[in-house]
Copies of this chain bind each other. A is one copy, B any other.
Amino acid sequence: MNQDYIKPDNWSIIEEGFDRARVKSSESLFSIGNGAMGQRANFEENYSGETFQGSYIAGIYYPDKTKVGWWKNGYPEYFAKVLNAPNWIGIDIEINGEKLDLNTCLLITNFRRELNMKEGWYSRSFEAKLKNGTEISVFVKRFLSLNLDEVGIINYEITPLNKDSKIVYKPYIDAGVTNEDANWEEKFWEPIDVKKSGSEAFITAQTFKTHFKVTTFMHNTILNNGEKTAISPSNIDAKNDKIQFSYDVIVAQGQKSSIQKIGGYTVSLNHENTLLAAEKVTQAALLLGYEKMLADQIDAWAKIWEMSDITIDGDVKAQQGIRFNIFQLNQTYLGKDSRLNIGPKGFTGEKYGGSTYWDTEAYCIPFYMATKDQEVARNLLTYRYNQLDKAIENATKLGFSNGAALYPMVTMNGEECHNEWEITFEEIHRNGAIAFAIYNFYRYTGDYSYIPEKGLEVLIAIARFWHQRANFSTNLNQYVILGVTGPNEYENNVNNNFYTNYIAKWCLEYTAEQIQKVSLEYPLDHKRITEKVKITNTELQSWKKVSDNMYFPFSKEHNVYLQQDGFLDKDLVRVADLDKSQRPINQKWSWDRILRSPYIKQADVLQCFYFFEDHFSNEELKNNFEFYESFTVHESSLSPCVHSIQAALLDKIDMAYTFYLRTSRLDLDDYNKEVEEGCHITSMAGTWMSIVEGFGGMRIKDDKLHFSPKIPKQWQGYSFKINFRNQILKVAITPHKTTFSINGDSTLAIIVNGKEVLVKPELLATVSVSLN
């Protein structure tokens, strides 16, 4: 049974009723972020129950000393941890001398959380009876400003219900925080400076080792019935890593009292003097004030939704699911800064560490290309370009030469920070996805300039890696790639993983083609690059020998490509025939049993068919899909989306819908029973793909948008928008017709179900097709 306490709603995530057992899950689900920082939905006031405290700042990490049982040569010295940042949201509350703590109150009623995705804020309200008999009503709203992205604001409102009460607000900032995920239980933050003045306080702390300097700040205002007061702190408790103010107020029964707390971070990534910057941004926020900042927030989110919203009619859970995914992606990464990337848990938890996985290139870039200015996706590509030197260094450490690059499996700053040999050293297909994203960016945007400017150097370094990593088998008289882990991590150290061999061959060929194209069309760039990387025709011929003679395991009997050598020697019991008590196998089985089983964690051969759909016939896709899906347990969050897209293509719409629900409500319904650790951010881009590319059938071929709309029977209609080469195309699909409309002033020719349709500005283009 999946969790089902989230109320269905088109625009909000809502929880009703207080349940201690759900606190950590809700802390993940109600997380807020603005691309620059984010935080779990921890309570502002003290909570003595089970909680997972988390505030995070983009780009700020800690290199935790590696912990392994058995060291292997080549392991990195550290693992870049997502860092729990100083707390600025804390406001302890005392009511008539008793600390407010939802874990110890006598009674809590009307507890409600709302994450308003349309407007970009999070609220919490409840009524509580304290042990001292005081009854209060509380309403808290907070948001992280999109416009002023170093600032968040909290409005914490209390109404005494049964008597006049003394309320003490005790807002604080605290750099004495720790990580749950710390290998050696060390402290990651070193406080270096504290400043307080009037209603403001600042703590500057730096991370050990990386020495990122962060000023955490707060400014507090006490309001009475919504009117600002001039009340100043009755007490200030200042330690070197924590400052706490106390504001005493007497509030009449039924009157509203509140504190508005402005807080946030300024960081040395962006400022020479973080304290000065913090003082400035606090003033800027104060000048705007709470109401104006909230209005700006609503506007800013409206602009995001204007571009990226997907509507679904007649299926509120599906609607809520897709909006939650789009909302979280936008909370995590907005693409303004090419030093940042899309962490797998975003700002919702610490798990996995690192910020950058192949998820970015394989799953996230299409979403950002289609729903943002193309600069955003370009920034994601540039991120890898800027880390090319470190990828070359990494490959050199592993025995490669001549400028070959192996991008890290997990990274913050370009250095590898993962340490499982079967992943770190062997899950090398990530190199392929990084090359594919370069191709995909050009395919989608039509902007070739990135390749001569930056992309080609990355492509060449990756091609050199594949060229060296393959070896000639005299036995097969072909090139093989031995000892890899494919996308399906339920196989380790296998030979000739089809996906890996295929993308390696493709990288070699694509890179050779781009060298040729750049030499013809961008001769100056060609000269600059070839001189820099010293590439010769002999080397290109040597690549060609490998790419022309790559080995691909194939089964004539099943008419499918083999996921890897020897796949058919397994005990091929299909998932449908596996005892349900054995699942999820990653919780029930020892690792060796998983490895020798035929069960697949996520699309592997099928991932190849997804990337290179045009290289294969529909018949081939059908055979491989039916064979491999039957062995797939989808225990990776990245699996259902690809299957949903392919099921839609193969007209298995019910199956596509099931996969869609699984991907879109993975966290809301907690399919994997782990949402308390944080949300699965990167797979959320896969959810978007499963609507746009799956049901909508969107593809880019020969510089044109193609669609082949389909619709699940549960839906009355759905719509999405695409930013295609600076034209915004809106697509609305119902069971009986599909309509297209476009902003701007030029006509867009698209292909729908194989036929050209001209979409003219301000006019609805309608294609009538019955989809049921």
Residues on A close to B: CB < 8 A?
A: 66-70, 72-74, 397-399, 419-422, 425-426, 471-476, 480, 482-483, 492-496, 557, 565-566, 568-572, 586-593, 595-596
Q: Which residues of B contact A568 (CB under 8 A)?
A: 473-475
Q: Which residues of B contact A72 (CB under 8 A)?
A: 590-591
Q: Which residues of B contact A482 (CB under 8 A)?
A: 566, 569-570, 595-596
Q: Which residue of B lies closest to A398 (CB)?
A: B590
CA distance A421 to B586 in the complex (A): 14
Contact in complex: B68, A586 (CB < 8 Å): no
Q: Which residues of B contact A593 (CB under 8 A)?
A: 398-399, 425
Contact in complex: A590, B483 (CB < 8 Å): no
Contact in complex: B70, A569 (CB < 8 Å): no
Q: Which residues of B contact A557 (CB under 8 A)?
A: 475
Residue of B69, B399, B493, B592 near A66 (CB, 8 A) is B69
Q: Which 5 A-B pairs have the closest CB atoms?
A: A74-B590, A425-B592, A483-B596, A475-B568, A473-B569
Contact in complex: A399, B589 (CB < 8 Å): yes
Q: Which residues of B contact A426 (CB under 8 A)?
A: 592
Q: Which residue of B lies closest to A568 (CB)?
A: B475
Q: Which residues of B contact A70 (CB under 8 A)?
A: 419-420
Q: Which residues of B contact A483 (CB under 8 A)?
A: 592, 595-596
Contact in complex: B421, A73 (CB < 8 Å): no
CA distance A426 to B595 in the complex (A): 10
Contact in complex: B73, A590 (CB < 8 Å): yes
Q: Which residues of B contact A419 (CB under 8 A)?
A: 69-70
A180 to chain B, nearest CB (A): 15
CA distance A592 to B425 in the complex (A): 6
Q: Which residue of B lies closest to A480 (CB)?
A: B569
CA distance A476 to B571 in the complex (A): 12
CA distance A425 to B73 in the complex (A): 22
CA distance A421 to B68 in the complex (A): 13
CA distance A570 to B496 in the complex (A): 12
Knowing that A68-B69, A73-B586, A493-B595 are A-B contacts, what are 7 other residue pairs whose CB atoms are under 8 Å apart, sorted by A's residue number?
A70-B419, A399-B590, A399-B593, A475-B568, A482-B566, A492-B492, A493-B592
Contact in complex: B587, A73 (CB < 8 Å): yes
13 sample A-B contacts, Cβ–Cβ < 8 Å, listed by A number: A67-B67, A68-B68, A73-B586, A73-B587, A73-B590, A74-B589, A421-B592, A471-B569, A474-B572, A475-B568, A482-B596, A493-B494, A495-B566
CA distance A588 to B397 in the complex (A): 10
Q: Which of A568, A571, A591, A592 has the most CB of B within 10 A?
A: A592
Q: Which residues of B contact A472 (CB under 8 A)?
A: 571
Q: Which residues of B contact A570 (CB under 8 A)?
A: 471, 473, 482
Residue of B68, B494, B496, B591 near A425 (CB, 8 A) is B591
| Contact (A471, B591) CB under 8 Å given A73-B586, A565-B565 | no
Q: Which residue of B lies closest to A593 (CB)?
A: B399
Q: Which residue of B lies closest to A476 (CB)?
A: B569
Q: Which residue of B lies closest to A570 (CB)?
A: B482
CA distance A68 to B66 in the complex (A): 10
A192 to chain B, nearest CB (A): 29
CA distance A495 to B562 in the complex (A): 16
| Contact (A493, B492) CB under 8 Å given A72-B590, A473-B568 | yes
A462 to chain B, nearest CB (A): 17
Contact in complex: A397, B590 (CB < 8 Å): yes
Contact in complex: A69, B569 (CB < 8 Å): no
Contact in complex: A475, B569 (CB < 8 Å): yes
Contact in complex: B398, A592 (CB < 8 Å): yes
A72 to chain B, nearest CB (A): 4
CA distance A566 to B566 in the complex (A): 9
A353 to chain B, nearest CB (A): 11
Q: Which residues of B contact A566 (CB under 8 A)?
A: 482, 495, 565-566
Q: Which residues of B contact A399 (CB under 8 A)?
A: 589-590, 593
A508 to chain B, nearest CB (A): 18
A156 to chain B, nearest CB (A): 40
Contact in complex: B67, A471 (CB < 8 Å): no
Q: Which of A66, A69, A73 has the most CB of B within 10 A?
A: A69
CA distance A422 to B475 in the complex (A): 27
Q: Which residue of B lies closest to A590 (CB)?
A: B74
Q: Which residues of B contact A476 (CB under 8 A)?
A: 569
CA distance A398 to B596 in the complex (A): 13
Q: Which residues of B contact A73 (CB under 8 A)?
A: 586-591
CA distance A483 to B473 in the complex (A): 22
Q: Which of A72, A475, A566, A588 has the most CB of B within 10 A?
A: A566
Q: Which residues of B contact A494 (CB under 8 A)?
A: 493
CA distance A490 to B752 in the complex (A): 55
Q: Which residue of B lies closest to A483 (CB)?
A: B596
CA distance A482 to B495 in the complex (A): 13
A467 to chain B, nearest CB (A): 14
CA distance A494 to B476 in the complex (A): 19
A628 to chain B, nearest CB (A): 16
Contact in complex: B425, A590 (CB < 8 Å): yes
Q: Which residue of B lies closest to A493 (CB)?
A: B493
Q: Which residue of B lies closest to A482 (CB)?
A: B596
Q: Which residues of B contact A480 (CB under 8 A)?
A: 569
Q: Which residues of B contact A398 (CB under 8 A)?
A: 590, 592-593
Contact in complex: A569, B493 (CB < 8 Å): no
A21 to chain B, nearest CB (A): 24
CA distance A586 to B72 in the complex (A): 9
Q: Which residues of B contact A425 (CB under 8 A)?
A: 590-593
Q: Which residues of B contact A69 (CB under 8 A)?
A: 66-69, 419-420
CA distance A66 to B81 in the complex (A): 22
CA distance A586 to B483 in the complex (A): 17
A567 to chain B, nearest CB (A): 9
Q: Which residues of B contact A591 (CB under 8 A)?
A: 72-74, 421, 425
Q: Which residues of B contact A74 (CB under 8 A)?
A: 589-592
Q: Which residue of B lies closest to A185 (CB)?
A: B184
A689 to chain B, nearest CB (A): 29
Q: Which residue of B lies closest to A557 (CB)?
A: B475
Q: Which residues of B contact A493 (CB under 8 A)?
A: 422, 492-494, 592, 595
A415 to chain B, nearest CB (A): 15
CA distance A472 to B493 in the complex (A): 22
Q: Which residues of B contact A586 (CB under 8 A)?
A: 73
A476 to chain B, nearest CB (A): 6
Q: Which residues of B contact A592 (CB under 8 A)?
A: 74, 398, 421, 425-426, 483, 493
Q: Which residues of B contact A565 (CB under 8 A)?
A: 565-566, 569
Q: Which residue of B lies closest to A588 (CB)?
A: B73
